[in-house]
């Protein structure tokens, strides 16, 4: 059974985690899914964390394709770490791993709260912990990368182009120039940063931030050459040379000033204070995902930033 850091690693890799009861082996709920020894129909008893499209599947039967070497039995209740696979009349998911459940599912459900909020909080804490730079500021301009401009001009004039193959999931990169008001994590000597982001509305990039001039908020930024992560292989199909200093390809990489909590809470909470984290995370993981230390100088700067950025003042608790 996954425990400690292994369970946390599984939770990080799985977008849809739920407690379910195996209904039938070598069976599926969708005609498009081939039946084999690794397919099973599972009733979703409790959703632990999930994206919006899967958050309301409690009580429904879905197809689970089991990963690894573990087996399940009809009637067995387990915690499944999965990712979406096929969507249609029903849903099929691919399981990374599963573990036996030692407590009633209803009790587990009462402890975990809203599954979408839980996933969003987990994503935010992970992105914040991994970020090279976290700043608050305003988007001053948005442009197309220089080499993409040149390539499109070349195609229009029938001249040869070296931009590479365009994938159906092409991110269609843009670069936003951000005026930095305050640095909350990391160090950046300049007053502006250039941030590459996917402007495509393709399903792979739909939830990524779409910046526009005048947009204000907190930017959770990652080094441009390493932050696309698992999407890198697809993104390389339309790679760009003019990449900008940082990249923001994830929904958790930007938060408007008007949104409560979230990045603001991670910034304002001293490292030694408790940060709301999923209850199944080990204590050392919770401490590692705390915010950067707050100094008197940074606290004063933050107050100025909050006053100018918030449309309506908030009452401090």
Let me know if residue 315 belongs to a domain. Answer: no
Domain tally for the chain? 2
Using a cut of 0.85, tell me whether the model's pTM lies above it. no
Q: What pLDDT band is residue 133 in, cutting at 50, 70 and 90?
A: very high
Range of 37-46, 51-60, 308-317 with top mean pLDDT: 37-46
Range of 100-109, 111-120, 162-171 with top mean pLDDT: 111-120
**Residues 237 and 278 placed together within one structural domain of the fold:** yes
Q: What pLDDT band is residue 221 in, cutting at 50, 70 and 90?
A: very high
pLDDT for position 225: 57
Range of the domain at 84: 4-112
**Residues 93 and 197 placed together within one structural domain of the fold:** no
Average pLDDT for 19-40: 94
**Residues 85 and 11 placed together within one structural domain of the fold:** yes
pLDDT for position 197: 92
Q: Is the pLDDT of residue 296 over 50?
A: no
pLDDT for position 103: 59
**Residues 138 and 259 placed together within one structural domain of the fold:** yes
**Residues 135 and 226 placed together within one structural domain of the fold:** yes
pLDDT for position 148: 67
Residue bearing tokens 């209740």: 77
Range of 148-157, 175-184, 202-211, 275-284 with top mean pLDDT: 175-184
CATH of the domain at 12: 2.40.50.120
**Residues 259 and 164 placed together within one structural domain of the fold:** yes
* Residue at which a domain ends, from 82, 112, 142: 112
Let me know if residue 317 belongs to a domain. Answer: no
Average pLDDT for 136-161: 73
């Amino acid at each position: 059974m996954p425990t400690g850091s292994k369970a946390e690693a599984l939770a990080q890799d799985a977008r849809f985690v739920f407690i379910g009861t195996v209904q039938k082996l070598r069976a599926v709920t969708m005609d498009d899914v081939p039946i084999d020894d690794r397919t099973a129909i599972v009733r979703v008893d409790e959703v632990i964390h999930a994206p919006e499209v899967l958050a309301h599947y409690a009580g429904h039967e879905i197809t689970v394709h089991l990963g690894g070497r573990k087996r399940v039995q009809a009637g067995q209740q387990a915690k499944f770490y999965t990712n979406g696979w096929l969507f249609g009349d029903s849903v099929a998911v691919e399981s990374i791993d599963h573990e036996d459940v030692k407590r009633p599912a209803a009790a587990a459900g009462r402890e975990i709260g809203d599954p979408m909020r839980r996933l969003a909080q987990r994503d935010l804490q992970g992105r914040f912990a991994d970020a090279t730079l976290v700043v608050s500021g305003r988007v001053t301009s948005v442009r197309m990368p220089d080499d993409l401009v040149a390539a499109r001009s070349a195609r229009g004039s029938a001249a040869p182009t070296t931009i590479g193959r365009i994938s159906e999931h092409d991110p269609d990169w843009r670069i936003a120039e951000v005026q930095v008001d305050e640095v909350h994590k990391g160090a950046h000597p300049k007053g502006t940063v250039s941030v590459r982001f996917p402007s495509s509305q393709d399903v792979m990039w739909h939830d990524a931030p779409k910046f526009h001039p005048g947009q204000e908020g907190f930017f959770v930024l990652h080094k441009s050459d390493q932050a696309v992560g698992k999407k890198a292989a697809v993104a390389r199909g339309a790679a760009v040379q003019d990449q900008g200093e940082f990249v923001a390809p994830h929904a958790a990489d930007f938060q408007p000033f008007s949104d409560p909590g979230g990045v603001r809470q991670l910034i304002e909470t001293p490292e030694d204070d408790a940060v709301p984290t999923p209850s199944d995370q080990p204590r050392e993981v919770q401490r590692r995902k705390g915010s950067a230390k707050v100094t008197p100088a940074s606290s004063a700067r933050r107050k100025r930033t909050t006053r100018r950025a918030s449309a309506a003042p908030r009452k401090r608790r």
